[in-house]
Amino acid sequence: MAPAAAQDAAPEGTTIIVSPPLTEKERKEELREFTKEIVQPPRMRHPVAKFFYPICPQVLGLAADEAKAIAERIRENARALGVGANTDPACLPTLKVAFMAPTAGPSQSWLSAESKQLAHLAIYERQRVLAESGPVRAWNRVAVRDFNGQRIEVGQMIRIEPYGRNDPIVTTEITGAAVLIARQAAEGFTFAQLADYITMRTLIGTGAPSNEAGVPARTILTLFDEPDPPAEMTSFDRALVAELYNASRNSAPRRIYNDIARAAVESERIARAEPEAPKP
């Protein structure tokens, strides 16, 4: 039954249904499914791809001080989340970001199936990039390796070594990541918001969640879709990246999804238990 105040505020003839809050088990399942929606699905028997070595970001298309601020924030995120970041100013960029000027045209014209930037991608990966809408295009370069870490080339036979029945026999390494962002669409956002969004699009292969029915957890991935997006990476975002990079290189995707949901629910429980800061 709705509270009296709610009944008084509702128009005559309106029925208000108050649903009980989700149990912790139900919330975990909800966040698990949400994780599966935004993390790009790996191939069958492949783990979720991630960087194996510290990243080296490069930001183009902005004033030098602005580009430096965003790159440094990405490095800070990578270090805090267990990925690591190369501090050598002359390091070879493995994470490239380009803010596209209006003269580059609308985002749907930036790339095509014949674009050299996408030549290394499998057909289904290329289609996924080209199907993205909005002011951003992002993709990762992934290397498949055998159980011992040796790179597997296309058509090469895999030598099977002993492994757990529940985990893949290969690992998938992100060797490079790229993000294109329309510069006009980025106006009005803070460097922290932009850097955190880029972090989420590159350290894991992710896509923007569908928010037609609302999203079950706040995430910086909705930066270009929400009228009031988060000011930085959320607790869910941090759980998403940290749990992937804390797992073994060949952990099964379902195990990763479960760990992310568990960590996210735990962070929500802690946040609820913390006393509110006194108002000034």
In the chain, which ranges are continuous DSSP H helix?
Answer: 4-9, 24-38, 64-80, 123-130, 183-186, 191-202, 235-246, 253-273
Place of tokens 């946040």: 271
Which of 131-135, 206-210, 221-225 has the lowest average pLDDT?
A: 206-210
Q: Which residues does 110 contact at the CB level (< 8 Å), separation at least 6? A: 100, 104, 137, 180
Q: Is residue 9 part of a domain?
A: no
Instruction: Give pTM, 2 decimals.
Output: 0.85
Specify if 277 maps to a domain.
Answer: no
Full residue range of the structural domain in which residue 28 is found: 21-208+219-272
- Beta strands 57-60 and 171-182 are unpaired
Would you say residue 12 lies in a domain? Answer: no
CA–CA separation, 52 vs 171, rounded Å? 10
In angstroms, the CA 9 to CA 19 distance is 18
pLDDT in tens, 29-71: 999 999 999 998 887 778 999 999 999 999 999 999 999 999 9
Confidence at residue 124, expressed as pLDDT on a 0 to 100 scale: 87
pLDDT on residue 107? 96
Does residue 140 have a pLDDT over 90?
yes
Look at residue 8 and tell me if it is in a domain: no
Q: Is the dihedral of CA 240, 246, 249, 255 positive or negative?
A: negative
Average pLDDT of the chain is 87
Look at residue 264 and tell me if it is in a domain: yes
Using pLDDT thresholds of 50, 70 and 90, give the confidence band for residue 1: very low
| 216 vs 8, residue with greater confidence | 216
In this structure, is residue 278 part of a structural domain?
Answer: no
Q: How far is it, in rounded angstroms, from Cα 84 to Cα 134? A: 30
10 within domain boundaries: no
Residue 1: inside a domain? no
- pLDDT of the residue at 90: 92
**And the tokens for 167?**
């985990």
Q: Does pLDDT of 261 surpass 80?
A: yes
The structural domain count of the chain equals 1
